[in-house]
Chain A
Amino acid sequence: MNRREFIQKSLLTLALGQGAPSLLSRTALAAQSKEKILVVVNLFGGNDQLNTLVPYRNELYYRLRPNIAIRREEVLDLGTNGERLGLHPALRPLMQMWNNGELAVIPQVGYPNPNRSHFISTSIWHTADPSRRLETGWLGRWGDLQDDPFCDTFLGGATPQAQMGERRSAPAISSIDTFSIRLPRPFEEAFDREAQRVRSGTAEEVRRAMLSLRGALDKVGQLRLVRNQAQYPDNAFGRSIADIARMIAGGLGSSVYYTTLGGWDTHAGQPPRQAELLGYLAQTLAALRADLRAIGRDKDVMVMVFSEFGRQVAENASFGTDHGEGGLMLVLGGGIRGGLYGSEPNLEDLELNALKYQTDFRNVYAAALQWIAANPQQVLGGDFQPLRLI
C-alpha cells in the first residue's frame, strides 16, 4: 500500500466510524459550524453570452445576428448599473435579485490561450489550470485538505473533475429519494463483508467505491424526511437543486454542492433551446432562494454559474452559433455584492469571430473560495485577486 492508498483507506475508515468515533463526532461538530455554502452550477455545452446578457443598444449585434438576436423590446433592461445591457426575457425570475443588488453578472470570463473544445475547456475550468498540467480539480484540492468525506457533494451521475482530489472525490448522489439500497438481507450482509476485505489493483478501487457508497447510504438516508418549502421546475436540474436545498436544511454539512445543466451546445436552432434552458435556470435558482429564505439560510449561500465558453458572435447558417471564447458567469445570493463586473462587449475587436476574454475565471473562483473560508492561493496555486463579490 502506498502513501496515497493508506491515507485514502484511513480516511474512509475514520469516516465510516469504524476506527475513531471521536473524529466522526468532531466532524459532525465541525459541520455545524460551517456556515457558508457554495453552490456551483456548470452549464455544459457553452452558453451563448450575447443572447443571455444582450447588448441591445448595439446595432452591430443585430447586424451580426439577423435571425437569432433577442428583440430589443423583449430584453430585460438592467438599468443604469447595467450600462447598455439587458437580460434574456427568460431570466425574468432573476430580476428581483438584480434589483436588490444580489445578482452579479460577469461577462467575458475566460483564460489565456482559450481552447474551443468542450472537453478541454471544461477540464481547464475544472482544474483551474489553463496550462493543463494539473489533473486534480480546484474543489478536489480543497477537499483534500478537509477531514470530512461529505465536505462537498455532487448532485448527479458521476463526480466531475472539479471535485476530484488526490485523496478523495465528492460523493455523487443523483437524488435523495432514490438513494437507498434495496437488496435481500443476505446480499446486503455479503456486500458489507466484501467491502472490508482489502484487494489490490482495480478490484481494490471497486472495494473503495463500495465503502464510499456505504458511507453515503448511511448519511443521505437521514435526509429523506426533509421537505422543500418552494416549488421547483419538474426536471432533472430542478430536482437536483431542490435536493441541495434539502441537504442544506437537513444538515448534511457540505460546504460545496455542485451540479450541472447540459444542452447549451446550440450549433443549430438556438433561440427556442436557449430560452428554454435559461428559463429552467432562472426559475430553479429563484426557487432555491425562496427555499433558503424560508429556513433562514439565504445569506449563507453563494450560487456560482459558469459554462466552458461563450459562443461565436456572428450566427451560422442553421440559426445557431459555433464555439467561442469569453463567456458569462453569474453569482448570486443574499450575501453577495451584485452588479455588472465588466463592460459592454466590443463587437469590433474579435478573435476568430469570438468575444475575447476580459476576466480570468480564477479571480471569480478566488472569491468563491474566500466565501467558504478557504485559502485561494493554496487551492489555485497562484495569486489571483478575488473579485469583490463579498
Chain B
Amino acid sequence: MARPLSFSNAAHLLRRAAARGRREEAQQLAEMGLEPAVDFLLRDPAPAPSYRTAATRNERGQQHREISQLWLNHWLTTPTPAAERLVLFWHGHLTSEFRETMGAQGIDFWQQFATFRQLGYGPYGDLLKAIARNPVMLLYLNNAQSRKEHPNQNWARELLELYTLGPGHYTEQDILEAARAFTGWTVRLPGNQRPREASANLAFEFVFNRNWHDPGEKTFLGRRVRSGEEVLEILIEHPQTYLFVARKLLRFYLCPEPPEALVQEGARVFRAEGTRGFLRWLFTHEAFYSPAYRNALIKSPLEYLVGLWYAAGVSQVSFEERPGRALYQSLAAMGQIPFDPPNVAGWDGGLAWLAESPFLTRLNLLAGFAGRERRLDLEVFMDNADGALSLVKPEAQLL
C-alpha cells in the first residue's frame, strides 16, 4: 500500500523532480500516495518534437536559438517534465559546448539530447557507451581528430576525471593509454558528404577509422586492453564510477553536501538499478522529505525560468523576436545558456548563481510580472508564497 504524501511534500517532490508545477498537480500527486506519485513522475519521457532548420551550416547562432527555444518550450509543455530536469543533469555532467564544438550543428546537439532522454533513466553504462560514440562529444573533446601518430588526450582525460572515476583514481599514464585506445573513433556525414555542401539538417554519424587506430596493446588501470570498448568496460565495472556519479546526482537532487552514508547507499542503488531506480530510491526515502533537505538547493536560471513561466501559465517562449531575444540574453547574463555550459565541468551551481550580476538579472525578469499577479500560481514554485511580491523572498530562489 502506498505511503501517504502530504500536499506540502508533494509540492517539494514535484519542484525537485521537475522544477515545474502548479497547485492541482501537487494535489493530484498527494492523492496518489508516495510510491505511485514517484512512479508517475518517473515514467518514460514523452518524445520531444523533431528539429528542422532553414539555417545554413554557417548560421549556428540561429540554430542555437532555435534548439534552445525548442527545448524550453518542450520542458514547459511536456507531460513528463522530470525527464527534462534529468536531461539538464546529464547535459551538465556529460557536457558539450555548442560555442566550442566547431562543425557540429543544431541537429547534432538536438540528437545528443534525444540520447539523454532515451537512455537517461537506464543503466549508466549504456548512456556512457552511447556518449562515447556521440558525434557532438567526439567533436567537442577532439577525439574525432585523434590518430595513432599523436593521440589527442582531451576526451580520455575528461572521461576519467569528469565522467567516471573522478580525480585521484588514475595516473597521467592511464590517460595516455586510454587516448591511444580511442584513436580512430571519429565522425562523418552520411554518404561521406562534405560538410561545406551539406544541409544543416544532416547529422554526423559515428565511424571507426581503422587507419587512424592504434591497435597495439595498452595498459589501462593495470589491465591489458586494446580498444576503446575495453576501456569503457573497465570504467563501467569500476565501483568508483558509481560513487562519483551518485554523489553528483545527490548534489543535484538533494543538497550541496550529501551525507556520506547516503552517497554509499545511493551508489549501490545507482549501479544495480540505473538512474530511474536511483531516483525512485531517493524520492521515496524518508530523508528526502526531512526539513534539513527542503529548500536546500538554489534554482539554476533554467529551472527558475521554466518554473516561473509555467507558474504564470506561459507555454511558449520565443527567442527569435523581441522581447524573446532579451530573454535569451538574460539567460547568458544569468550564467546558463542551454547547450552551452561554461566549460567541460558544466555549471558550478549553488550560490554562484546568486553572485551580484546574475542574481540582479534574474530579479529584473520579475518586472514582466507586474500587473499579471492574478495569473500566478506559486504553490509549487516556492514555499511561503503569498502573492506576486513573494517572488522577491529568498524562498523564490530555492528548489
- Residues of A that sit less than 8 Å from B by CB: 44-45, 115-120, 154, 156-159, 171-175, 178-184, 186-187, 190-191, 194, 199, 201-207, 209-210, 212-213, 216-217, 262-263, 265, 267-269, 314-318, 320, 322-323, 352
**Least Cβ distance of A162 to chain B in Å?**
14
Q: Which of B100, B145, B146, B296 contacts A202 (CB 8 A)?
A: B296
- The answer to whether A183 touches B356, judged by C-beta atoms less than 8 angstroms apart, is no
Q: How far is it, in angstroms, between the C-alpha of A315 and the C-alpha of B351 when the chains are bound? A: 39
**Least Cβ distance of B347 to chain A in Å?**
10
- The answer to whether A190 touches B394, judged by C-beta atoms less than 8 angstroms apart, is no
CB-nearest residue of chain A to B395:
A203
Interface-central residue, B356, B358, B366, by most chain A CB under 10 Å: B356
Q: How far is it, in angstroms, between the C-alpha of A116 and the C-alpha of B172 when the chains are bound? A: 8
Q: Which of A45, A175, A205, A262 contacts B357 (CB 8 A)?
A: A175
Chain A residues with CB under 8 A of B142: 267-268, 318, 320
Q: How far is it, in angstroms, between the C-alpha of A212 and the C-alpha of B153 when the chains are bound? A: 42
Q: Which of B102, B167, B389, B391 contacts A120 (CB 8 A)?
A: B167
Interface residues of B in 274-312 (CB under 8 A from A): 292, 295-298
**Least Cβ distance of B378 to chain A in Å?**
14
Q: How far is it, in angstroms, between the C-alpha of A171 and the C-alpha of B342 when the chains are bound? A: 20
Please name 29 pairs of A and B residues whose Cβ atoms are closer than 8 Å in the assembled complex, sorted by A: A44-B343, A115-B167, A116-B172, A117-B161, A118-B344, A158-B352, A159-B352, A172-B355, A172-B357, A179-B357, A183-B363, A184-B370, A186-B389, A187-B370, A187-B392, A194-B392, A194-B394, A199-B394, A202-B296, A202-B398, A203-B394, A209-B354, A209-B355, A213-B360, A216-B356, A217-B360, A316-B151, A317-B147, A322-B153
- The answer to whether B356 touches A187, judged by C-beta atoms less than 8 angstroms apart, is no
- The answer to whether B364 touches A182, judged by C-beta atoms less than 8 angstroms apart, is yes
- The answer to whether B356 touches A317, judged by C-beta atoms less than 8 angstroms apart, is no
Q: How far is it, in angstroms, between the C-alpha of A181 and the C-alpha of B356 when the chains are bound? A: 11
Interface residues of B in 170-194 (CB under 8 A from A): 172-173, 176
Chain B residues with CB under 8 A of A268: 142, 145, 152
B96 interface residue per 8 A CB criterion = no
B81 interface residue per 8 A CB criterion = no
- The answer to whether B154 touches A210, judged by C-beta atoms less than 8 angstroms apart, is no
- The answer to whether A206 touches B394, judged by C-beta atoms less than 8 angstroms apart, is yes
- The answer to whether B295 touches A203, judged by C-beta atoms less than 8 angstroms apart, is yes
A118-B345, A191-B392 given; A205·B364 CB < 8 A: no
Chain A contact residues: over half helix, strand or loop, or mixed?
loop
Interface residues of B in 84-110 (CB under 8 A from A): 100, 102
Q: How far is it, in angstroms, between the C-alpha of A206 and the C-alpha of B362 when the chains are bound? A: 13
Interface-central residue, B344, B360, B364, by most chain A CB under 10 Å: B360
- The answer to whether B357 touches A174, judged by C-beta atoms less than 8 angstroms apart, is yes
Q: Which of B149, B292, B295, B398 contacts A317 (CB 8 A)?
A: B149
- Residues of B that sit less than 8 Å from A by CB: 100, 102, 141-142, 145-147, 149-154, 157, 161, 167, 172-173, 176, 292, 295-298, 333, 335, 342-345, 348, 351-361, 363-364, 366-367, 370, 389, 391-395, 397-398
**Least Cβ distance of A236 to chain B in Å?**
10
Q: Which of A182, A209, A322 contacts B351 (CB 8 A)?
A: A209
Give 10 nearest A-B pairs by CB, closest first. A318-B145, A206-B394, A172-B355, A174-B357, A158-B352, A209-B354, A317-B150, A158-B355, A191-B392, A317-B147
- The answer to whether B364 touches A181, judged by C-beta atoms less than 8 angstroms apart, is yes
Chain A residues with CB under 8 A of B355: 154, 157-159, 171-172, 209
**Least Cβ distance of B51 to chain A in Å?**
26
Chain B residues with CB under 8 A of A316: 146, 150-153
Chain A residues with CB under 8 A of B394: 194, 199, 203-204, 206-207, 210
Chain A residues with CB under 8 A of B296: 201-202
Q: How far is it, in angstroms, between the C-alpha of A138 and the C-alpha of B88 when the chains are bound? A: 33
**Least Cβ distance of A95 to chain B in Å?**
31
A173-B356, A187-B370 given; A317·B393 CB < 8 A: no
Chain B residues with CB under 8 A of A174: 333, 357-358
Chain B residues with CB under 8 A of A44: 343
CB-nearest residue of chain B to A45:
B343
Chain B residues with CB under 8 A of A210: 359, 394
- The answer to whether B333 touches A267, judged by C-beta atoms less than 8 angstroms apart, is no
Q: Which of A158, A181, A191, A318 contacts B348 (CB 8 A)?
A: A158
Q: How far is it, in angstroms, between the C-alpha of A86 and the C-alpha of B173 when the chains are bound? A: 33
Q: How far is it, in angstroms, between the C-alpha of A187 and the C-alpha of B362 when the chains are bound? A: 13
- The answer to whether A171 touches B356, judged by C-beta atoms less than 8 angstroms apart, is yes
Q: How far is it, in angstroms, between the C-alpha of A178 and the C-alpha of B356 when the chains are bound? A: 12
CB-nearest residue of chain B to A216:
B356
Chain B residues with CB under 8 A of A269: 102
- The answer to whether A173 touches B357, judged by C-beta atoms less than 8 angstroms apart, is yes
Chain A residues with CB under 8 A of B297: 202
Q: How far is it, in angstroms, between the C-alpha of A355 and the C-alpha of B73 when the chains are bound? A: 49
Q: How far is it, in angstroms, between the C-alpha of A142 and the C-alpha of B142 when the chains are bound? A: 40
CB-nearest residue of chain B to A263:
B100
Q: Which of B100, B161, B358 contacts A158 (CB 8 A)?
A: B358
- The answer to whether A206 touches B152, judged by C-beta atoms less than 8 angstroms apart, is no
- The answer to whether A117 touches B298, judged by C-beta atoms less than 8 angstroms apart, is no
Chain A residues with CB under 8 A of B363: 181, 183, 191, 213
